[in-house]
Amino acid sequence: MKRPIVILSLGLLTVIAVVLLTTRPRPESKKLSQAEFVAMVQSNPLAKVRIYYPAKPGKVDGVPVMLNEVRATFNQSDPAFIARVRLTPELEGKLLARTNVTIIELNAFVQKARDWLVRSK
């Protein structure tokens, strides 16, 4: 009886630890605005890109907007940056044409946990 409870508890703790480690920005990460992100994508080659697609749209000034979180580096030695941006079809096409892009889709439960963690900072 106790063994399944211990296994379930360890599994749940592992999932929580993974969520905490993957969603927290590193202290050396620079946050970019939409305009800064677009300018950097058009001018510099990206070394590694991760695009997070949310399960549901967020709100900006009460209006639902689909904001993607993009984490990337320009060179292996440069610090990473994070941008919460609206990907236009043209910008999304430029990013997806690269071979070093990883797409991550969050499910609704993970997104709620992530939003709760971000607000609790």
Q: Once rounded to an integer, what is the mean pLDDT over residues 31-47?
A: 84
Cβ burial 36-53 (10 Å sphere, 16+ → b, else e): ebbeebeeeebeebbbbe
Does 76 score more than 60 pLDDT?
A: yes
Distance between alpha carbon 46 and the CA centroid of its chain, in Å? 16
Condensed to tens digits (0 to 9), the pLDDT of residues 13-25 reads 898 888 777 776 5
pTM metric for this prediction: 0.62
Q: Look at 55 and 38; give whichever has higher pLDDT.
A: 38
Share above pLDDT 70 across residues of the chain, in percent, rounded to a whole number: 85
What is d(CA 33, CA 75) in angstroms, rounded to the nearest whole number?
19
In the chain, domain spans: 26-119
pLDDT value of residue 119? 67
CATH pick for 26-119 out of 3.40.50.300, 3.40.50.720, 3.30.720.210, 3.40.80.10: 3.30.720.210
Condensed to tens digits (0 to 9), the pLDDT of residues 86-102 reads 888 898 888 888 778 88
